[in-house]
A and B are shown apart, each in its own frame.
Chain A
């Protein structure tokens, strides 16, 4: 059965923080508890992670003061609800009469009832009472693409599907850690939310989903949650070898999933980080103009986990002309890579 991306919802949640604002906040936080020598070494590293002009959106500007499991969990719940409501505002402007399924994605927290159930309550006037409600958790930066993969394979009785993504990444920051991967995460990620209305019917401005394939690699421990001071936090098993391993995995994936260079197609690459983005583009022979929407997104929002690729798709689908192909590539924990392709109608 054909599936159509009817619209991509890309609300902006939180408040913008520049690199300088984040650096100042981290410095102030570290001054409270870390000795001068250790602090200097850590701040030098953080300066590297925050070089140049970039912003991210932060839903809980007090995240560097979290001091207990409850602080983190409560922050996630509040930020998640704000994000679901932000997506619901977009749905009110352009959505179907009724959703037959909700797939909710988050890799930054858990809640009960699940996020799909919460979303169904928020948009209950548009919900089929028999709808499938499903949470996809802990899928990392490929989470939204995995949800699209699920949606593309659901049966014909499920016509209109809502995919909703909430990633308040700041809520897992560990302000009391000296681990470099924790701070690499804090500096690389931004908070974000997004959604997709996926339908069995085409409509104005829609794109036909042509292909969505995934590849599972050989680096299960590369990116993982580690146990922080009082919550889980972002971790890399081998920070020094991370870039090389990721590049190797992605290049292996692209040879397996049918990614090839095609002129005239618009392209979105998950902005894992600027080094990875540019080095990958070079290997895939993508020119700077093709990569620009992904770079622009990273500069404005940083890496919002799997919400990022949907924001990039939102822009690409708005600029694509009729019959133009839009392709995207996401990569993340697992190590997992997803390649998607759609055509603007």
Chain B
């Protein structure tokens, strides 16, 4: 099971690298869809999380959360899904 801090840390790392103009301190309240607007960015974001967290992140399972939720809620969802997978 993955830790929430690790998920948020991996998200911050991605945003700092790919969107340097966006301050990464408060990403949890940012809507993911307002930051990630291209399909390639979205896929790279998911692949980055997979690499950093050592889990398989399923876009279809996360569904529309990937663009309509904020990063904080998305981190919660990833933790929840990883807990389900671990059961």
Contacts and interface: CB of A to CB of B under 8 A. Distances in A.
B37 A275 contact: no
B56 A53 contact: no
Contacts of B40: 52, 274, 278, 295
Given A51-B37, A51-B67, A282 B47 contact: yes
Interface in A267-291: 274-275, 278-279, 282
Interface string A223-262: 0000000000000000111111000000000000000000
Q: Is the interface of A mostly helix, strand, loop or mixed?
A: helix
A283 to B, nearest CB: 11
B22 interface: no
Given A45-B64, A240-B60, A52 B39 contact: yes
B38 A48 contact: no
Q: Chain A, interface size: which category?
A: 20 to 34
A52 B38 contact: yes
A52 B67 contact: no
Given A44-B64, A44-B68, A242-B60, A52 B37 contact: yes
Q: Chain B, interface size: which category?
A: 20 to 34
Given A51-B38, A51-B67, A239 B60 contact: yes
Interface in B36-51: 36-44, 46-47, 50
A242 B61 CA distance: 9
B54 interface: no
A48 B64 CA distance: 6
Contacts of A180: 63
B66 interface: yes
B59 interface: yes
B58 interface: yes
Interface of A: 41, 44-45, 47-48, 51-54, 180, 184, 239-244, 274-275, 278-279, 282, 295
26 contacts: A41-B64, A44-B64, A45-B64, A47-B33, A47-B64, A47-B67, A48-B64, A51-B36, A52-B38, A52-B41, A53-B38, A54-B39, A180-B63, A184-B60, A240-B61, A241-B60, A242-B60, A243-B59, A243-B60, A244-B56, A274-B39, A274-B43, A275-B46, A275-B59, A278-B47, A282-B47
